Amino acid sequence: MNFLSETISIKESISPDLALRNSAENFFKKINQLASDRIIIDFTSVTSITRSFADEYLNQKKKTKKTIIDANVPEIIVKMFKVVEKKPEKYVVPQSNQQKPLLLKISV
């Protein structure tokens, strides 16, 4: 086990605009190949993030055996992570028990 930390700039590794789900997946593939067990992800100068990137990033972060520490995370990124972490309400479409369409008479 390697107790050294390694810092990675996500802006330099991907882009200042974090957009694609597969970018997050590929980013974690590279992280998982590193010798260090503790990885610091530096979000300095990241300007935007999509919901799909944030979702995949958080999913990959949960799956990895590495200790991931997010550093210098801009407020806009923090807010998107919070949105993604909230459990969405599940909406159930009510089923109609009525078999035949209802005909309405309109008088003119």
pLDDT tens readout for residues 44-62 = 999 999 999 999 999 999 9
C-alpha distances in Å from residue 51, one per residue of 21, 23, 69, 76: 9, 13, 20, 12
Across-strand partners of 68?
Answer: 39
Angle 75-85/51-63 helices, nearest 10 degrees?
70
pLDDT at 4: 85
Residue 27 burial (CB count, 10 A): 20
The Cα–Cα gap between 68 and 61 comes to 7
Let me know: does 31 contact 5? Beta carbons within 8 Å: no
Q: Answer whether residue 23 shows pLDDT above 90.
A: yes
Q: Answer whether residue 2 shows pLDDT above 80.
A: no
Q: Answer whether residue 9 shows pLDDT above 80.
A: yes
Mean pLDDT check: name the lowest of 35-39, 51-55, 84-88. Answer: 84-88
Domains annotated for the chain, with CATH where assigned, are: 5-85 (3.30.750.24)
pLDDT tier at 102, thresholds 50, 70, 90: low
pTM higher than 0.75 for the full model?
A: yes
